Chains A and B, each alone.
Chain A
């Protein structure tokens, strides 16, 4: 039995199973007030098993049961044409595309800035403190303004959302890369000096390879926030497509199941993106000869 208790797979499954049981119970508990009220008004006979049955199959439940969400996911992912406005694949794709564009922009900007900071002492003293300080600022607050202001000058669609994502994910990448580019130890730097290496050789042969672990660590963090940025960017100014728009319309029309399935899809997308980064990291590390 020891393998059983020591396996993390079993532990995770147990925790998940408990969550599911708890979820079903919570659904009954949270929905019962509305249902009982309805029964009383319509003078319907009811007992506990009917209450449980009904609370797991309401149209607009306060808390939908897991199977309702799964049914809705099935309906909106597999039963719809991908291009349909009701398909979550379509909405998910809208969000993913601005996430990726924003991530690419933020990554390039962050890496360039970190290279500048490492090589120009004045930039290091003047800009780096601001980058660190800006981590403490709720940057997402400016999302609506960026959307509306860019909308006012005629930039709409994917780009404003991507800019918010880029803005969010550029900070962790810049900070991580500054750390990474400075990570080679003094011995290696001295060795390069004895080889009479040029500045670009220092960079490409030592600093850049040494920074890859930091690069991927910040990539994993920032692709997740990039997604958050894209979703929040869809909230104001009534975006018509995207997971954020699904959340917003769901909350306007009280479609709880729709909100939950959008949330689940968003979580799956986040998980997949981070996983992709991990796979990429493994491959790069393998090519660089790191033994896993």
Chain B
């Protein structure tokens, strides 16, 4: 907290230096100069009146002013015939320092008394950080004219994404809707059923649990070529790989979950003269739910990995893994990145859906009551 104005000093001095000696970049693009000035105004404001950043309106205002600075430099870099001078890089480096500082202020907001505020801050700071990375990525790739083959800029990836929406959608259908979902349900379903069956027989349990734990360390993805040989090139073979990958985590977790019921609860059910099925459905399965959801969440990532890697071994001409491996061969790196974005997006949405369901079904569980 003590060093609040230091970075603002550095930025202001940097701004003045680059303005005096290397300001030509500020005159590319419409309004660049005006936008570029705004972080300087913000920073001078903070130096003159450090208390301004303590309040909420001040924070928001300064965030917006700094964002304008980002826009200015992006605008300049993207304008026609840019002559990039060292001034812009001095500007960018000091601006990033300023942003880092601003994030520090946002994350030091005391949210102990205001839950909504806590949620907002916990969302805002990572978004700011992500935005900063995207900004740097765009600035560096465009400014230094990094060959597109090495690393395309986010804007190029966005354009590729928009241009190949149809292909990406077809890939998504092939890989996610067919292979991943089918394999996921088959693997999780069979893992669950086997776990419930095995749970009845302690002898099998002792044999399967260590083997199941071992299997989770094995590179099961390796069965992909075998599955492709058995089930052909289409999505069935990918679903088989996904099924094999998701089976063991489900088995092990469900078994552990079924064992997690406490003696007391079982005794109580016993005294109610409950039979095996009543005990299973009313007590043991609800108790196992957190473990089952844990397995589902682990499996959601494994499933996508399995399907994509299996496609490296041969597919019909559609699918995310196929797209990635062929487009990289044709050096269309922007399409590859767009495809990866789709994979990342579908992976995290799938996970978020499972997490949401988990909250709905296991909201009563102690693990959710804390915090």
Contact = CB atoms under 8 A, between A and B. Distances in A.
Contact of B305 (A8, A138, A231): A138
B347 A136 contact: yes
Contact of B100 (A16, A62, A122, A231): A122
A80 B305 CA distance: 34
Interface string B311-355: 011100000110011001100010011011001100110111000
B45 interface: no
Contacts of A262: 222
B208 A125 contact: no
A135 B297 CA distance: 10
B149 interface: yes
Q: Which of B300, B312, B320 has the most CB of A within 10 A?
A: B312
A121 B106 CA distance: 11
Contacts of B329: 148
A226 B106 CA distance: 36
Contact of B344 (A8, A138, A251, A267): A138
Contact of B211 (A15, A129, A251): A15
A43 B103 CA distance: 79
A24 interface: no
Nearest to B226: A259
A117 to B, nearest CB: 12
Interface stretch (A104-112, A139-147, A197-205): A139-147
Contacts of B340: 141-142, 145
B204 A232 contact: no
Contact of B336 (A145, A231, A248, A250): A145
Contacts of A227: 219
Nearest to A60: B229
A15 B204 contact: yes
B141 interface: no
A3 interface: no
B208 A145 contact: no
B312 A136 contact: no
Given A136-B300, A138-B304, A144 B325 contact: yes
Given A129-B122, A148-B328, A236 B312 contact: yes
A196 to B, nearest CB: 21
A291 B207 CA distance: 28
A130 B129 contact: yes
A201 B150 CA distance: 44
B206 interface: yes
Given A141-B324, A152-B149, A121 B104 contact: yes
Contacts of B352: 136
A126 interface: yes
A137 B309 CA distance: 14
B272 interface: no
A107 B204 CA distance: 37
Contact of A15 (B208, B313, B351): B208
B10 interface: no
A11 interface: yes
A208 B334 CA distance: 42
A125 B126 CA distance: 7
Given A137-B348, A236-B312, A250-B225, A126 B126 contact: yes
A140 B305 contact: yes
B368 interface: no
Contact of A136 (B224, B225, B325, B351): B351
A228 B219 contact: yes
B68 interface: no
A164 to B, nearest CB: 12
B217 A271 contact: yes
B129 A247 contact: no
A190 to B, nearest CB: 20
A245 to B, nearest CB: 12
Nearest to B205: A11
B204 A11 contact: yes
B371 interface: no
A48 to B, nearest CB: 23
A208 B208 CA distance: 36
Given A125-B107, A136-B301, A256-B226, A149 B203 contact: no
A12 interface: yes
B358 to A, nearest CB: 13
B302 to A, nearest CB: 9
B347 A125 contact: no
Contact of A144 (B214, B222, B312): B312
B232 to A, nearest CB: 12
B210 interface: yes
B301 A135 contact: yes
Contact of A130 (B130, B218, B320): B130
B194 interface: no
A166 interface: no
A285 interface: no
B301 A138 contact: yes
Contacts of A5: 203
Contacts of B228: 251
A28 interface: no
10 contacts: A15-B208, A16-B207, A122-B107, A125-B107, A125-B122, A126-B128, A129-B122, A141-B343, A250-B225, A256-B229
Given A8-B210, A122-B100, A149-B149, 20 more contacts: A12-B206, A16-B211, A122-B125, A127-B129, A137-B348, A138-B308, A138-B343, A140-B305, A141-B304, A141-B305, A141-B320, A142-B324, A144-B328, A149-B333, A153-B150, A224-B218, A235-B309, A247-B224, A250-B225, A259-B225
Interface of A: 5, 8, 11-16, 30, 62, 121-122, 124-127, 129-130, 133, 135-142, 144-145, 148-149, 152-153, 220, 224, 227-228, 231-232, 235-236, 243, 247-248, 250-251, 254, 256, 259-260, 262-263, 266-267, 270-271, 274
Please give me the 7 A-B residue pairs with the lowest Cβ-Cβ distance, nearest first. A251-B225, A11-B207, A15-B207, A125-B107, A126-B129, A136-B351, A11-B206
